[in-house]
Amino acid sequence: MLKFKFLLWALNKLLQRAIKKNPGCAKFVKGKSLVFQIRTEDGVGRYFTVANGKVKSAAGLTQKPAFTLSFRNTERGFAILSAKDSKDEFLTGLRTGDLKISGDFVEVMWFQGLTEYLQPAKDPAQVFFTTR
C-alpha cells in the first residue's frame, strides 16, 4: 500500500516539475480547471486539482471528480502506473477489470496528454531529490 501512496504523491511532484520546467507542459495546463482522482476500490487514493496553471494534490478522495481511475487494489495500481509500457498496461488493466475509469472520458484523454510530458527518473532517489 505504501508504494502506491508514494507513487501518487510522486506523480504530483513530477507533474509540478514538468509544468515548471517545460513551457509546452505549462501551456498545456494553462486555463485548465479540473479535479480528478486516482484510487483503489477499497478507498485508498489521492485527488489532484489542476487550476491556475498549477497542479496540487491531497491524500484521500473528493466528492465530485471530473473522472476517477479506480484500481482493483494497491498492488495492481502500482504495477499499472509504474509499468514501462504504460499504455499497454492501462489497456490490459481495463480488459481484465484491474482498472475502471468513470467520469468524463474527454478529461481522461486530456490527462493522458498531460502524462506525455513526464520524464522518467533514472532511479527512485532522483524523483525525491529533483522535485524539491
Span 36-81, pLDDT tens digits = 999 999 999 999 999 999 999 999 999 999 999 999 999 999 999 9
pLDDT at 7 over 70: yes
CATH of 2-117, one of 3.40.50.720, 1.10.3210.10, 3.40.630.10, 3.30.1050.10: 3.30.1050.10
Spatial separation of the C-alpha atoms in residues 49 and 58, rounded to whole Å: 9
Query: What was the pLDDT predicted at 86?
Result: 79
Q: State whether the Cα torsion 120-125-130-132 is positive or negative.
A: positive
Helix (H) or strand (E) run with residue 93 in it = helix 86-96
Report the percentage of the chain scoring pLDDT > 90: 82
DSSP-based three-state secondary structure for 82: coil
Q: Kindly list the domain boundaries of the chain, sorted by start residue.
A: 2-117
Spatial separation of the C-alpha atoms in residues 16 and 10, rounded to whole Å: 10
What pTM value is reported for the model?
0.85
Helix (H) or strand (E) run with residue 67 in it = strand 67-71
